[in-house]
Amino acid sequence: MKKSPFKPFFLPLLLTVCTLFYYFGELVDWAAWDNLRQNFFYGVHDVHRLLFLAPIVYAAYTARIKGAVIITLVSFLIFLPRAFFISPYPDPLLRMVIFTVFAGVIGYLVARIRNEQTRFRKLEAARTLQRDTMLSIIDSMSDGVFITGPDYHIRYMNSKLKKEFGEGVGLTCYGYLKKADSPCECCEIQTVIKNKETRRWECRFSEDHVNEITSAPYIDDDGITCQIAIIQDISRNKLA
C-alpha cells in the first residue's frame, strides 16, 4: 500500500493549528486585527486546550506510547507561556497540569489499545499460518485424517479420506463413514474430548474392512475442543 507523502507533515501541522488557536487572542492583539476580536479567544483556556487531544490521540494511534508521551510533553511546553506570563485567571498552572495529565492518560490508553490490536493480529496470523502448515502436512498423508467436533460433525478431512469416501465436511462422522443414524458403539470421541487423552480403537465401516482409529484432542480455530483422528485400514492383518 502506497504511503501518503503528506502523512509525515500531518502531526506537526495539527500541532501548529492547535497552537495558533490557543494563542489566537494574543495574535489578534499583536497584529491589530480588530475585526477578529472575539471574547471567546480571551476567556479561560481550558476549552481551548481540548483541541490538543487531537494531536495527542493521533500520535498515540500512529506512534503508540512513545508518540503519545512526546506529543503530550510538547503540548505541555506550548501551554507553559500562557500559564506563566499571560493568563489572568486563578491557578493557571494547576489547571494546565491537570489537563496535561488527563490528555496523557487518554493518549496512553489509545496507544495500549492499538498495541493490543496489533499483538492480537500477529497472534491470529501466526496461528493461521501454523494451522495451514499443519493441514497441508496432514493433507499429504497416506492415511485418512479428519477433525470432528463434539457434535460428531466433520470439520476437516484430508485428500486421502475424500478420495476413499467422498466429500463429507459438515456431515456426522457415523453417517459419513458408516451410513449409520447414531454414533458407533466403539466410538470414543467423547472420552477423547472430555478427558483430553489419546485413544486407539478398531471399527468396521463395512463387513470386509477393519479400521484402526487413533484419536487425540484438538482445539479448533473457534476454541472448541475437537477430535483429530487417523484412520488406518488393517483389514489385511485382521482378515488374513
Task: Kindly state whether residues 81 and 146 are assigned to the same domain.
Answer: no
- What is the per-residue pLDDT for 234? 83
Q: Determine, yes or no, domain membership for 61.
A: yes
Task: Kindly state whether residues 127 and 144 are assigned to the same domain.
Answer: no
DSSP 13-24: HHHHHHHHHHTH
Q: Determine, yes or no, domain membership for 1.
A: no
What are the pLDDT digits (tens) for 183-227? Answer: 988 889 999 999 999 999 988 887 777 889 999 999 988 889 999
Q: Any residues with CB less than 8 A from the CB of 189 and at least 6 apart, and which? A: 148, 150, 152, 173, 183, 215, 227
Q: Is the pLDDT of residue 161 over 80?
A: yes
Q: Determine, yes or no, domain membership for 2.
A: no
Question: For residues 27 and 149, which has the higher predicted lDDT (pLDDT)?
Answer: 149
CB-facing half-sphere around the CA of 82: CA atoms within 13 A: 30
Task: Kindly state whether residues 110 and 164 are assigned to the same domain.
Answer: no
- DSSP character at residue 50: G
Task: Kindly state whether residues 13 and 121 are assigned to the same domain.
Answer: yes
Q: Any residues with CB less than 8 A from the CB of 60 and at least 6 apart, and which? A: 67, 68, 71, 106, 107, 108, 110, 111, 114
Task: Kindly state whether residues 125 and 175 are assigned to the same domain.
Answer: no
Given 131, 165, 187, the domain boundary residue is 131
What are the pLDDT digits (tens) for 71-111? Answer: 999 999 999 998 888 777 788 889 899 999 999 999 999 99
What are the pLDDT digits (tens) for 40-83? Answer: 555 657 888 899 999 999 999 999 999 999 999 999 999 999 88
User: Mean pLDDT across the chain, nearest whole number?
Assistant: 87
Residue 52 Ramachandran class (φ > 0 left, ψ -120 to 50 alpha, else beta): alpha
- What is the per-residue pLDDT for 144? 92
Task: Kindly state whether residues 199 and 150 are assigned to the same domain.
Answer: yes
Rounded average pLDDT over 12-29: 85
pTM of the model: 0.64
- What is the per-residue pLDDT for 116? 96
> Which string of b and e fits 92-129 if b means at least 16 CB within 10 Å?
beebbeebbeebbebbbebbeebeeeeeeeeeeeeeee
Structural domains of the chain, count: 2
Task: Kindly state whether residues 208 and 98 are assigned to the same domain.
Answer: no
Q: Determine, yes or no, domain membership for 194.
A: yes
Task: Kindly state whether residues 20 and 109 are assigned to the same domain.
Answer: yes
Residue keyed to cell 490521540: 57
- Put the strands of the sheet holding 154-157 in their side by side order: 154-157, 144-148, 225-233, 209-219, 199-206
Task: Kindly state whether residues 184 and 123 are assigned to the same domain.
Answer: no
- Show the domain range for 32: 7-131
Given 112, 131, 150, the domain boundary residue is 131
Task: Kindly state whether residues 120 and 147 are assigned to the same domain.
Answer: no
- What is the per-residue pLDDT for 100? 95
